[in-house]
């Protein structure tokens, strides 16, 4: 199931910069995203404005009831988003915008915002109210589709790593129709739209790896350190992965959407990485989510490169994808051998979290791929107000604002 390295564009090596990049690269990166929405109720904006105020305690003291009002709103949105059998797209988008703003308090520099209230009890309470219902839904979805009990997961480290690999390559997102579409069918505007979603939808992988390695030891720390150094282009500025992705955006003159322009399927893909990498209780889950990114990247990156070449985008513009199509094959093997195996050998209980991380990341990617395929097709057929996605003999519909859970076969929506 491992993608074929020979499918990567050989002529990339002709360009000196690109060659150097190919010697180093790895996976996703990209900063995010400012502002919030201007229509309807905007919980994310209210939270951000309050948390940006260095005098938050005074505001909460003077405006009696404000704290409870916002907490009540957060609980209501979370209930609509993840405690209902229907998929409420507006509620999910509001929840993930708000959650992203809270997570960003932990990964940014105090430049555009003071971050003075990073650990304020109000921020912590909001995070709890918004994160818990989503987390419960994610884990419920994972456990309903897979037996992730300690009895079912292989106890032998090498056998568990093999389970991890097989599970990743047999998840419904593998061989997703989106990547066949991008490779052989999508028009240039459709591909360019997809790239804007990509730049909005990735947290900085280098920072994620850096956070994930805290507290690890031995081979696990060494592999994460090596992976991190690859993210930084092994010290070559032009080969830093975030730089390579920015080159794509600049070459194609694309504009990264703001968070309030993005649906939950994009935002949840970012949040699942931040959810796993920021809280230490999720340290083993982070090893699962990050490994999933590595294992699943080469195949999809190869197909994106093929699609880009087909519509006339210069190979040097998509070097980010061309590089990851190759390098993540090695990263995936390194992660299995030097992170998963030794971690399970040292702490057998870690396999539960690692497995949950793999599935939750894969499920989030599946939602994202479904959304991208459905929406990209509307660029060619803008009259459609309802889009049908089919896979594996099943089909479901994406309406303009809602997905009817009764037509959706995946456990995610429950
Ligand atoms: Fe990688
Ligand atoms: Fe990378």
Percent of the chain exceeding pLDDT 90 equals 76
Q: What is residue 27's predicted lDDT score, i.e. its pLDDT? A: 35
Per residue in 287-335, pLDDT tens? 999 999 999 999 999 999 999 999 999 999 999 999 999 999 999 999 9
Residue 370 lies in a domain: yes
Ligand nearest to the CA of 240: 2
Gap from CA of 233 to ligand 2 centroid (Å): 9
Q: Calculate Rg over the CA atoms of the chain.
A: 21
Residue 81 lies in a domain: yes
The count of domains in the chain is: 2
**What stretch of H or E contains 98?**
helix 89-104
Residue 170 Cα to chain centre, angstroms:
19
Together in a domain, 231 and 256: yes
Contact of 395 with 204, CB cutoff 8 Å: no
What's 403's DSSP letter? E
Gap from CA of 394 to ligand 2 centroid (Å): 34
Together in a domain, 187 and 300: yes
Together in a domain, 122 and 244: no
Q: How far apart are CA 164 and CA 146, in angstroms?
A: 12
Ligand nearest to the CA of 243: 2
Final residue belonging to a domain, choices 82, 113, 142 = 142
Together in a domain, 16 and 66: no
Gap from CA of 292 to ligand 1 centroid (Å): 10
Q: How far apart are CA 71 and CA 67, in angstroms?
A: 6
| Protein residues placing their CB within 5 Å of the ion ligand 1 | 26-27, 294, 328, 331
Q: Name the residue range of residue 333's domain.
A: 5-33+153-383
| Protein residues placing their CB within 5 Å of the ion ligand 2 | 26-27, 241
Per residue in 21-57, pLDDT tens? 444 433 333 333 333 343 457 999 999 999 999 999 9
Contact of 338 with 220, CB cutoff 8 Å: yes
Gap from CA of 331 to ligand 2 centroid (Å): 10
Selection from 211, 183, 165 nearest residue 362 by Cα: 165
Q: How many CB atoms lie within 10 A of CB 347?
A: 12
Tokens 């051998």 correspond to 337
229: left (phi over 0), alpha (psi -120 to 50) or beta: alpha
Gap from CA of 65 to ligand 1 centroid (Å): 47
Together in a domain, 29 and 160: yes
Selection from 289, 279, 297 nearest residue 340 by Cα: 289
Residue 305 lies in a domain: yes
Together in a domain, 167 and 288: yes
Residue 393 lies in a domain: no
What is the arrangement of strands in the sheet containing 87-88, beginning at the earlier edge strand?
Answer: 87-88, 402-403, 394-398, 387-391
Position 230 pLDDT exceeds 90: yes
Residue 165 lies in a domain: yes
Q: What is residue 73's predicted lDDT score, i.e. its pLDDT? A: 97
Q: What is the CATH number of the domain that holds 179?
A: 1.20.910.10
- Kindly state the tokens that stand for 103: 């997570």
Q: How far apart are CA 317 and CA 294, in angstroms?
A: 21
Together in a domain, 124 and 226: no
Together in a domain, 306 and 200: yes
Contact of 8 with 327, CB cutoff 8 Å: no
Together in a domain, 133 and 166: no
Ligand nearest to the CA of 293: 1
Residue 403 lies in a domain: no
Together in a domain, 188 and 262: yes
Residue 405 lies in a domain: no
State whether the Cα torsion 285-287-290-292 is positive or negative.
negative
Instruction: Compute φ and ψ for 232, nearest 5 degrees.
Output: -90, 20
Ligand nearest to the CA of 298: 1
Mean pLDDT over 264-268 rounds to: 97
Final residue belonging to a domain, choices 95, 120, 142 = 142
Final residue belonging to a domain, choices 142, 171, 199 = 142
Q: How far apart are CA 156 and CA 284, in angstroms?
A: 17
Residue 397 lies in a domain: no
Together in a domain, 180 and 106: no
Position 201 pLDDT exceeds 70: no
Low-confidence winner among 22-31, 117-126, 243-252 (lowest mean pLDDT): 22-31
Together in a domain, 185 and 117: no
Contact of 18 with 231, CB cutoff 8 Å: no
Tokens 């069918």 correspond to 185
Gap from CA of 405 to ligand 2 centroid (Å): 35
């Amino acid at each position: 199931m491992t993608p074929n390295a020979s499918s990567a564009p050989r002529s990339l090596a002709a360009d000196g910069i690109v060659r150097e990049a190919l010697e180093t690269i790895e996976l996703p990166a990209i900063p995010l995203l400012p502002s919030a929405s201007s229509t309807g109720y905007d919980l994310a904006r209210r939270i951000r404005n309050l948390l940006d105020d260095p005098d938050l305690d005074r505001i909460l003291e003077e405006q009696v009831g404000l704290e409870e009002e916002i907490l009540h709103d957060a609980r209501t949105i979370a209930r609509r988003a993840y405690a209902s059998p229907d998929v409420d797209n507006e509620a999910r988008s509001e929840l993930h915008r708000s959650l992203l703003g809270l997570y960003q308090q932990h990964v940014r520099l105090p430049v555009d915002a003071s971050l003075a209230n990073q650990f304020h009890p109000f921020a912590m309470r909001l995070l709890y109210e918004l994160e818990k219902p989503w987390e419960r839904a994610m884990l419920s979805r994972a456990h309903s589709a897979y037996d992730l009990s300690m009895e079912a997961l292989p106890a032998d480290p090498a056998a568990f790593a093999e389970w991890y690999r097989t599970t990743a390559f047999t998840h419904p997102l593998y061989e997703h129709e989106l990547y066949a579409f991008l490779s052989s069918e999508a028009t240039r505007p459709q591909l360019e739209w997809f790239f804007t979603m990509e730049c909005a939808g990735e947290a900085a992988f280098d920072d994620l790896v850096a956070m994930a390695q805290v507290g690890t030891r031995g081979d696990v720390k060494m592999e994460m350190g090596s992976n991190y150094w690859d993210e930084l282009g092994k010290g070559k500025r032009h080969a830093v992965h975030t730089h390579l992705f920015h080159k794509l955006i600049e070459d194609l003159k694309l504009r990264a959407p703001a968070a309030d322009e993005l649906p939950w399927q994009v935002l949840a893909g970012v949040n699942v990485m931040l959810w796993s990498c920021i809280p230490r209780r999720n340290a083993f889950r982070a090893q699962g989510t990050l490994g999933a990114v590595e294992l699943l990247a080469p195949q999809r990156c190869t197909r994106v490169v093929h699609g880009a070449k087909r519509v006339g985008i210069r190979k040097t513009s998509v070097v980010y994808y061309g590089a990851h199509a190759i390098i993540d094959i090695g990263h995936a093997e390194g992660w299995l051998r030097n992170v998963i195996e030794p971690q399970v050998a040292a702490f057998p209980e870690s396999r539960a979290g690692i497995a949950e991380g793999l599935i939750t990341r894969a499920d989030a990617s599946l939602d994202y791929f479904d959304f991208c395929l459905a929406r990209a097709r509307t660029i060619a057929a803008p009259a459609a107000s309802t889009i049908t996605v089919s896979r594996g003999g099943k089909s479901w519909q994406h309406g303009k604002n809602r997905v009817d859970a009764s037509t959706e076969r995946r456990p995610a929506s429950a």
